[in-house]
Amino acid sequence: MAASIVKRVSRVKKLNVSHISARYKLLTGSRHFSTSKQWNKALVLGVYENESTDSIDFTGTARKFDEKADGKISQLLLTVKKPLKCGKTRTLHAVDPEFSSVLVTCIGKRGEGYDELETVDKGRESIRAAVAKAVLQLRELGENEIEVDSCGDTEASAEGCHLALFSYDDLKAKKSRKPAVRISCATRYSQDKNSMEKEWRKGAILAEGQNLSRRLMEMPANLLTPTKFAEIVKEQLADKCEVLVRDKDWAESMKMGSFLSVARGSVEPPVFLEIEYKGRQSDSPLALVGKGVTFDTGGISIKPSQGMDAMRGDMGGAACVAGSLLSVSKLQLPVHVKAFIPLCENMPSGSATKPGDVVTAMNGKTIQVDNTDAEGRLILADALCYSEQFNPSLILDMATLTGAIDVALGAGAAGVFTNSDDMWNKLQKASVRSGDRVWRMPLFNHYTKKITECQLADLNNIGGSRSGGACTAAAFLKEFVNNKNWLHLDIAGVMSNSGDVAYLGKGMSGRPTRTVIEFINLMSKETNN
């Protein structure tokens, strides 16, 4: 298999939108390094945590490398009395003629697996974090071709490397950007190279999907308008999916008054994306819906200016839908998926919706908009109604919907509201594998009452008090869904990473893209999707 590549392109002089677009294409397309490039090769090897001061507990691959190097690696490691602890590394030089650096990284205790309280596979998480740290340290040393130990879980190892090496520095001067690194799996001592390469590729594709989500979320809102988002998604997905770009007139003809009430404050035209991936024939696709507010000022109920820049990531749900579809289509999963993405800006202006205005959604329900900053639920209401027209076997929506979910769960997990125990069990199972966790939240009538008590209309877009804000938002969405398998993921708390996830750098996280891909993978094994 071709080695995985982190790409580099030369700086463009003027950062106007068309330049960015051309460059984006290069950055995300597959590109090969020139053969004249000077390679500095390095190797990452895994060891298990071990109390002994006179033996090293190597992974299978690492043991073979040590044997080949006449035990030099173990000798050097044992010259230091303190054994390596999980997450710690040692860098060795001049131990092998092929590699200028050999970095040994500790992947935790042998045999670690599912941890019930943590609801995560600790073994896989430790591998992701350990190889992530390793490749970043080697990049700092100027190494640009790195062979990585599968550490007993090739997919997790590939995910860790590819996620760690992501950086969004496209808009910086060349000298300030991270150097290119080529990574591959150390397969030379494997019994079954083919299956190892296959697993590595799967891990790389999972990471690639999440990295697309991160890139879209990180892009500044002046460059990533609704129109631009649609263009990039077309570039990225058009060869494997059908991408329909609907305009404002179309939304009007569909009577999407709720969606359009948010878009009307901005000069940027709204876009409604409809994407189809047909990895198998079926009349009941999986429906994905993503909140695509490319910038959320709050509208007339304007937000405080501090930290408002983060609201460029308010299209995180849309980005995760796009990232998931990229991976699902690259993995050629045998599944039928339809995605629905309402895109707009939430701006204050003379034409913006005002608190107290009443709008009508596609299903005929009227909504009193008491707070224009609760706009996500307004655009999702119409997208959810529309998605129901396609007889989906399930509807999964993702949205950076409420600050309240951040208060409740922080970056520990995405909040999940679902009417199906079965769907919940499957999503949680997927998250244990991905390490990107979910936590179930209630859909009680208690919360529905808060949004149906409304002076002028059928529904109010806010709950009247701040209490249970994520739950009243979910209860609002529930009014627009009839499907028996509905999942709403409030991802506002996991929108960005400030160091909590060791293998993701600081910035927009792209979470929970890999959980959703894994969930779709599980669903593809069921009949009739």
Residue 185, binding choice from Zn ion, ligand BES, none, Cβ under 5 to 8 Å by partner class: none
Catalytic residue among 202, 291, 312, 377: 377
145 binds Zn ion per the rule CB under 5 A: no
Residue 436 binding target from ligand BES, Zn ion, none, CB below 5 to 8 Å by type = none
Q: Could you say which of ligand BES, Zn ion, none residue 155 binds, taking C-beta under 5 to 8 angstroms by partner kind?
A: none
Report what 404 binds from ligand BES, Zn ion, none; CB cut-off 5-8 Å by kind: ligand BES
Q: What does the alpha-carbon distance between residue 462 and residue 342 come to, in Å, rounded to a whole number?
A: 20
Instruction: Give 269 or 355: the residue with its C-beta nearer to ligand BES.
Output: 355
495 binds, among ligand BES, Zn ion, none (CB under 5 to 8 A by kind): ligand BES
Stretch of residues binding Zn ion (CB under 5 A), selected from 131-139, 152-160, 220-228, 289-297: 289-297
* Residue 8 CB-density burial (10 A; 0-12 exposed, 13-18 middle, 19+ buried): middle
* Cα 404 to Cα 467: distance, rounded to the nearest angstrom: 8
* Residue 354 Cβ vs ligand BES, minimum distance, rounded to whole Å: 15
CB of 385 to ligand BES, least distance (A): 19
Tell me how far, at minimum, the Cβ of 89 lies from Zn ion, in Å.
Answer: 40
Neighbouring-strand partners of residue 414: 438
Least separation in angstroms between residue 344's CB and ligand BES is: 12
| CA distances to 210, 266, 361, 379 from 349, in Å | 34, 7, 22, 18
Instruction: Please list the residues that pair with 246 across neighbouring strands.
Output: 272
Distances (CA, A) of 329 to 43, 277, 279: 31, 7, 8
Instruction: Compute the half-sphere exposure of residue 508: CA atoms within 13 Å on the CB side of its CA.
Output: 28
With 0-12 / 13-18 / 19 or more C-beta atoms within 10 angstroms meaning exposed / middle / buried, residue 225 is: buried
Q: Is 303 a catalytic residue?
A: yes
296 binds Zn ion (CB under 5 A): yes
Which residue of 373, 397, 406, 436 would you call a contact of Zn ion, by CB under 5 A?
Answer: 373
The CA-CA-CA angle for residues 506, 512, 513, to 5°, reads 100
Angle ∠(393,395,398) on CA atoms, nearest 5: 155
- Is 377 catalytic? The answer is yes
> φ and ψ at 404, to 5 degrees?
-65, -30
Min separation Cβ 375 and ligand BES, Å: 5
Structure tokens given for 447:
């919360």
Report the residue number, 163 or 293, with the smaller CB distance to Zn ion.
293
Nearer Cβ to ligand BES (371/419): 371
DSSP string, 406-457: HHHHTTS-EEEEES-HHHHHHHHHHHHHHS--EEEE---HHHHHHHH--SSS
Q: Are 132 and 163 in contact (CB under 8 A)?
A: yes
Report the residue closest to ligand BES, judged by CB: 403
Sign (positive or negative) of CA dihedral 158, 145, 131, 193: positive
Identify the DSSP state of 525. Answer: T
Give me the least distance between CB of 209 and Zn ion, in Å please.
Answer: 23
Q: Which is nearer to ligand BES, 60 or 355 (CB)?
A: 355
Spatial CA neighbour of 358 closest among 450, 255, 456: 456
- Our finding on whether 490 is near Zn ion (CB under 5 A) is no
Closest approach of Zn ion to the CB of residue 76, in Å: 53
Residues in contact with ligand BES by CB under 6 A are 296, 314, 371, 373-376, 400-404, 406, 462, 469, 492, 495
- Residue number, 374 or 487, with CB nearest to ligand BES: 374
Nearer to Zn ion, 265 or 376 (CB): 376
Would you list the DSSP string of 346-391? E--STTS--TTEEEE-TTS-EEEES-TT--HHHHHHHHHHHHGGG-
Say which of 178, 264, 303, 440 is annotated catalytic: 303
Residues 312 to 331: which contact Zn ion by CB under 5 A?
314
Minimal distance in Å, beta carbon 297 to ligand BES? 10
Q: How far is the CB of 293 from ligand BES (least distance, A)?
A: 7
Q: Which does 371 bind (CB under 5 to 8 A by kind): ligand BES, Zn ion, none?
A: ligand BES
Distance CA 493, CA 101 (A): 39
Q: Under the criterion CB under 5 A, does residue 265 sit at the interface with Zn ion?
A: no
Q: Which is nearer to Zn ion, 43 or 380 (CB)?
A: 380
314/490 with CB nearer Zn ion? 314
Q: Which does 257 bind (CB under 5 to 8 A by kind): Zn ion, ligand BES, none?
A: none
Judged by CB under 5 A, the number of residues near Zn ion is: 6
| C-beta closer to ligand BES: residue 406 or 518 | 406
Provide DSSP, 182-247: EEEE--TT-S-HHHHHHHHHHHHHHHHHHHHHHHHHHS-TTTS-HHHHHHHHHHHHTTTSEEEEE-
Contacts 24+ apart (CB under 8 A), 469-472: 469/402, 469/403, 469/404, 469/405, 469/407, 470/401, 470/402, 470/404, 470/405, 470/408, 470/415, 470/441, 471/404, 471/417, 471/441, 471/442, 471/443, 471/444, 471/447, 472/447
Q: Which of 376, 415, 468, 512 touches Zn ion by CB under 5 A?
A: 376
Tell me if 57 contacts Zn ion by CB under 5 A. no
If contact means CB under 5 to 8 A according to the sort of partner, which of Zn ion, ligand BES, none does residue 432 touch?
none
Query: With CB cut-offs between 5 and 8 Å by kind, which of Zn ion, ligand BES, none does residue 492 bind?
Result: ligand BES
Residues in contact with Zn ion by CB under 5 A are: 293, 296, 314, 373, 375-376
Kindly list the catalytic residues: 303, 377
